[in-house]
């Protein structure tokens, strides 16, 4: 039972995806085609004016007009007037079929910490309730009580 609870918690954490998502414009996306001249990260500005640091392992997505999200690797794609090519992902996407801009997802430390804490509390509560139910279920009719009078044969 403990393993089942642990597996459920792990998959729920992965499914929740504790990320902060930032929407960037097409101009900012164009800057992410080329690796930075110095260092391994580049800072872009999202549509709300927040500075967002992008590294080569940052989660970056473009979205089709139909709503499908395509992950692309920062500094490893090429845009032309008509298409976006992400050779490491084997994508050749028509730009007129994509929404303007892109999304950047970064891991949120606070969301992960709250999720892990909540998961531990939830698991403890479930295990505690199971233990309490198992311990209290045998107290009202224990296995050592005498048989009812109707079942006592030979007395």
Mean pLDDT value of segment 17-40: 91
Kindly report the pTM of this predicted structure: 0.62
DSSP 57: T
The answer to whether residue 34 scores a pLDDT higher than 80 is yes
Q: How confident is the model at residue 138 (pLDDT cuts 50, 70, 90)?
A: low
Q: How confident is the model at residue 26 (pLDDT cuts 50, 70, 90)?
A: very high
- CA-atom Rg of the chain in angstroms: 28
Mean pLDDT value of segment 3-9: 66
What's the token pair of residue 11? 């998959």
Higher pLDDT, 64 or 134: 64
Sign for the CA dihedral angle at 87, 70, 28, 111 comes to negative
pLDDT in tens, 68-84: 999 999 999 999 999 99
So what's the pLDDT on residue 152? 57
- Give every strand in the sheet of 59-63, ordered side by side: 19-24, 102-107, 59-63, 69-72
From CA 28, how far away is CA 24, in angstroms rounded?
6
Domain ranges of the chain: 19-107
pLDDT in tens, 106-130: 887 666 666 677 777 888 888 888 8
């Amino acid at each position: 039972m403990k393993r089942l609870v642990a597996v459920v918690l792990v998959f729920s954490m992965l499914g929740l995806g504790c990320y902060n998502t930032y929407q960037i414009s097409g101009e900012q996306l164009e800057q992410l085609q080329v690796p930075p001249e110095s260092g391994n990260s580049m800072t872009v500005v999202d549509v709300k004016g927040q500075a967002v640091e992008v590294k080569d392992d940052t989660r970056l997505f473009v979205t089709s007009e139909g709503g499908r999200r395509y992950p692309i690797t920062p500094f490893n794609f090429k845009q032309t007037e008509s298409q976006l090519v992400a050779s490491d992902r084997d994508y050749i996407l028509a730009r007129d079929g994509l929404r303007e801009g892109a999304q950047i997802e970064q891991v949120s430390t606070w969301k992960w910490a709250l999720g892990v804490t909540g998961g531990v509390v939830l698991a403890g509560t479930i295990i505690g309730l199971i233990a309490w139910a198992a311990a209290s279920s045998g107290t009202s009719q224990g296995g050592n009580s005498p048989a009812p009078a109707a079942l006592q044969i030979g007395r």
